[in-house]
Structure 1
Amino acid sequence: MRDPHAGWLQRVQIVKGWVENGEAKERVFDVACSDGLTPDPRTGRCGDNGATVNLADCGVSENKGAVELRTLWTDPTFDPNQRAFYYVRAIENPSCRWSTWDAIRAGVQPSPTMPKTIQERAWSSPVWYAPRV
């Protein structure tokens, strides 16, 4: 659910981690998309919802994104014999980076060496899975 003082939600992801042959692995699944989009079956990613940022005043799209995203998800790669962890990550629409806000307030151009926008994130505590022995 969107914080009323934060940006609109763009997508929700599940991040899965596990160890395979002694090497740490991680995979990200987009599981809920805003604006009526669904994860692409081939890539597993949400398409671009068209949210924009006006770099002159840091205004954002008011008609893109969601107040709430929810879904029911099952791990398509689940192995009952493999230890794993999962956590949820929510990603907002793009917004101005703090340095862009500062440049606008100061009446100067933002630094060309820094990204002008960011996508804020929130994440859950992990859920750990261990096979029964």
Structure 2
Amino acid sequence: MRGDLATAPDGVNAPVFMVGALKDPWSGNLDGKQIIKGWVDTDSERHERISDLAVSDGREIGADGRASDPVGNTVDVEQATWTNTIGAPELRAVWTDTDFDPSVPAVYYASVLEIPTPTWQACDKARFDIKITPEGIPRSHQERAHTSPI
């Protein structure tokens, strides 16, 4: 999919995105919502910038557009369970690309992250009482979903 942004109305100098997400009812709460912008500069160099739009649990987004504190982790790796006592069931935000330059080709996509949940390896270990090899495989991870490029 591809498209070009039409000429903006008077007084609008940058694209504005409204982004929302609801948690999967059978999975973890939401950790945060992001916009990823990719562009190519005049020297044909590729760039990417991730901006946090909304984060759960009262965490702050810094001047650099990123949350510095992690959401936490409620995973019990031995039981392969987690609790939804952190995160949020829904996140919504409005974001404006303050660095927008209509002469620079750019692409945007949104991403949503869940709180940590057990990996399938942790679930197999708990259900079937098997040894996980090799040692050091993560037992929790954060699921994420991405939109198509905007």
Name stretches of at least 5 consecutive residues in structure 2 with no aligned partner: 1-21
The alignment covers a number of residue pairs equal to 127
1:40 touches 1:47 (CA, 8 Å); kept in 2?
no
Q: In 1, Cα distance between the equivalents of 2:89 and 2:111?
A: 15
Deviation by residue 1:6-25 (Cα, 9 ceiling, x = unmatched): 21100001011111221221
Q: Which has the larger radius of gyration?
A: 2
Q: Is 1:8 matched with 2:26?
A: no
1:18 touches 1:85 (CA, 8 Å); kept in 2?
yes
Aligned-residue sequence identity (percent) comes to 37
3-state SS in 1 of match to 2:91? coil
Distance 1:35 1:10, change over 3 A: same
Q: Which residue of 2 aligns with 1:115?
A: 138
3-state SS in 2 of match to 1:70? strand
Q: Which residue of 1 aligns with 2:110?
A: 88
Q: Which residue of 2 aligns with 1:19?
A: 40
Q: TM-score if structure 1 supplies the norm length?
A: 0.86
Q: Which residue of 2 aligns with 1:64?
A: 86
Deviation by residue 1:33-76 (Cα, 9 ceiling, x = unmatched): 01122312246225222232111112213210111001111123
1:30 touches 1:46 (CA, 8 Å); kept in 2?
no
Q: TM-score if structure 2 supplies the norm length?
A: 0.77
Q: In 2, Cα distance between the equivalents of 1:49 and 1:16?
A: 23
3-state SS in 2 of match to 1:60? coil
Distance 1:39 1:29, change over 3 A: same
Q: Is 1:31 matched with 2:77?
A: no
3-state SS in 2 of match to 1:105? helix
1:7 touches 1:92 (CA, 8 Å); kept in 2?
yes
Q: Which residue of 2 aligns with 1:124?
A: 147
The amino acid of 1:63's aligned partner reads T
Distance 1:46 1:90, change over 3 A: farther
3-state SS in 2 of match to 1:69? strand
Name stretches of at least 5 consecutive residues in structure 1 with no aligned partner: 128-133
